[in-house]
Amino acid sequence: MSGNIGYFSNESVERVRASTDIVSIIGRYVNLKRSGRSIKGLCPFHKEKTPSFFVSPERQMYHCFGCGAGGDVFSFLMNYLSFSFTEAVEELASEASIKLERTGRDTTRTDVFREIVAQAQSYYRKQFRGNAGAAARDYLERRKLSEKTVEKLGIGWAPHGNTLSAHLREEGYSESQLIESGMVLRSTQGSGVYDRFRDRILFPISDRRGRVISFGGRLIEESSTGAPKYMNGPDSPIYRKGDYLYGYRNAAKASRDLDMVILVEGYFDHARFVDAGFECAVATCGTAISPPQARQIGALASSVLVCYDGDSAGQRASVRAAEIIMEQGYLPEIIAIPQGQDPDDYILERGGESVLELIGRANDPIRYALELLGGWSSVTDSGKKVKVVKRLVEIASSATEPVIRETMLKVVSEETGYSMKTLELEIREEDSKIRKPAERKLKGTELNRWDSRILGLILLSREGLSSPMVDFILKDDLHSESGARIFNEIKRQADSGMKFFQLSHLEDNDSSICARLLTVYPEQTDQADSERLMKAVEKDRLRRERKQLKSQLIAAEDEESKELQRRIREIEKIEKKYYK
């Protein structure tokens, strides 16, 4: 299970679930269309041409019949945007204006790591403002970054030595906690720990709720020991590089107001856009853009702009970033920065008004890629037409949304003169290279019809988890491993006082199976359905007992054999009554 059970009260989580429309949430990221009782669209978790992703507004569930992904609204945010269960609940509670009740500290121990990193941020800010931070302040002044922007970004200073680790130890944190938080490293020379960040300006990285979870650091002068110019915090219990965007919290509102989000690579590039009045900028945290980051960017605004460095590495990275964004169903444009410059240099040299000029010159990924080669006429002269067209089609084929894909193919056709028919044949060849995902069929994770009937009736009971069926059914009544696991979780939630089943408490495979069951199962069940199932379960119990007795009969002695035969006859008489 990816989430954290017990952090919020069951009642709080249920209020959030009941107040959230799964169709509205998923519809922000997936183009959905009604299909009978359900709503369908192209699956956001794998590449497909024919929709196999279904959302049930009645059940508040989703399931893909292509790759097996499925769950409730919490599961969707966890799988699509890489939220933790806690973050998913907090995000939806905030939207619904629901105050969450906590049951205690986070059982995954993330509370203590948040406290450590928050204390580190407070310490680094204090160092920046004091005498120790004079060199850092001078450096930022030389780079012409305004005090207002520095304060807004919460930039700090990590001084020389191991002052942070000493400070945090005084606050009562253990060495193992500090190491796991990512703030310190274990010494390679004897015992003890030392500060991860030293002699560096620090950019605090926040989660989607605005809480600092890690840092990105930069040296202000060259290291005599060969230390890297930039250093990023490691993955930790509260931070995963590929799941978070630097500047996301502040960019969220600005991006929605401007209907525009700008993706950059570096912390100073981001700071320069903010300094110029464009808080809609976000940055990756020292890595190439990941699918979860691309989804978060696409969800912020309809206009997505990629603005990386102007050197060849930055240009290649720009195209690759655009491909990943298109794979997630969005169409970005790429801003071309002159060779040898980065966005920070460019905007500083030309002023904040140059940002609008950059945005105005932004191009789609196909035209940008062609411009890098000097245009189609240069390609023709070089004799590399076929190779270039194949690469352009490859870029277009990364788009999973049919409209975006066709739009990009038309651009290739317009720019190169190749017919759409030829390009469509080429894109089919590209698609054939992509392996179709097999539906998840792991050992012990498939429900048979019997288990589906039992679990479906319980989960769709009008009485919720207070249904008499929850007490009547036994673990042995389920015939599959997955069915037994799901029932155990149903029982656990019922015993803890929960009124309705929460899918997010299941392991991913069981959650997907359960979501599929609830997506395709018929109407909500009533008392008559329960009575019919109880009768069927009692018959099944008798059948299993009779089968077991017959196997024991083979090796039984005389007296034991007579007793076993007597019990078998009794069972057979009872079974005849059920079939009348």
pLDDT digits (tens, 9 = 90+) for 73-131: 999 998 888 888 888 998 899 888 998 887 765 555 788 999 999 999 999 999 999 99
Question: Distance between CA atoms of 83 and 90, rounded to whole angstroms?
Answer: 10
- Quote the CA–CA distance of 488 and 477 in Å, as a whole number: 12
Query: Residues near 291 by Cβ (< 8 Å), separated by ≥ 6?
Result: 324, 327, 328
Closest CA to 322 of 362, 364, 378: 364
Residue written as token pair 């699956």: 43
Q: Please tell me the least confidently modeled range out of 74-88, 257-271, 514-528.
A: 514-528
What is the pLDDT averaged over residues 290-318?
A: 94
**In sequence order, what DSSP letters do the residues of 298-318 get, joined into one string?**
HHH-SEEEE---SSHHHHHHH
Instruction: Convert the pLDDT of each residue in 43-61 to its tens digit.
Output: 988 878 788 888 988 878 8
- Supply 95's token pair: 């939207």
170 versus 437: which is more confidently predicted? 170
Query: Exposed, middle or buried by CB within 10 Å (0-12, 13-18, 19+), for 239?
Result: buried
User: 99: which 2 tokens?
Assistant: 């105050």
Q: Do you know the residue count of the chain?
A: 580
Token pair recorded at residue 382 = 């070089």
Amino acid type, 216:
G
Q: Which residues contact 367 (CB under 8 A, 6 or more apart)?
A: 411, 415
Check whether 223 has a pLDDT greater than 80.
no
Q: Can you read off the two tokens belonging to residue 514?
A: 């359960």
216, 202 contact by CB (below 8 A): yes
Task: Supply the pLDDT for residue 106.
Answer: 57
The answer to whether 277 touches 334, Cβ cutoff 8 Å, is: no
Cα–Cα distance measured from residue 172 to residue 153, given in angstroms and rounded to the nearest whole number:
28
Q: How far apart are CA 299 and CA 329, in angstroms?
A: 10
Measured distance CA(121)–CA(513) in Å, rounded:
43
Lowest mean pLDDT among 93-107, 212-226, 513-527, 551-565: 513-527
Q: For residues 213 and 114, is the Cβ–Cβ distance under 8 A?
A: yes
The stretch 34-42 carries a mean pLDDT of 81
Least confident of 116-125, 251-260, 455-464: 455-464
pLDDT of residue 298: 92
Q: State the DSSP string of 105-165.
A: S-TTSHHHHHHHHHHHHHHHHHHHHSGGGHHHHHHHHHTT--HHHHHHHT-EEE-SSSHHH
Tokens standing for residue 198: 């030293």
Cα distance between residue 74 and residue 72, in whole Å: 5
Domains of the chain from N-terminus onward = 10-95 (3.90.580.10), 110-239 (3.90.980.10), 248-362 (3.40.1360.10), 370-432 (no CATH), 449-578 (1.10.860)
Distance CA(469)–CA(402), nearest Å, equals 46
Residue type, 296: Q
Q: At what angle do helices 420-432 and 385-397 cross, to 10 degrees?
A: 70
pLDDT tens digits for range 482-514: 888 888 988 888 887 777 787 777 777 788 777
Partner residues linked to 418 by β-bridges? none
Side-chain half-sphere CA neighbours of 185 within 13 A: 10
The structure's pTM equals 0.74
> How confident is the model at residue 455, as a pLDDT?
86
Write the single-letter amino acid at 243: D
* Residue 336 DSSP code: P
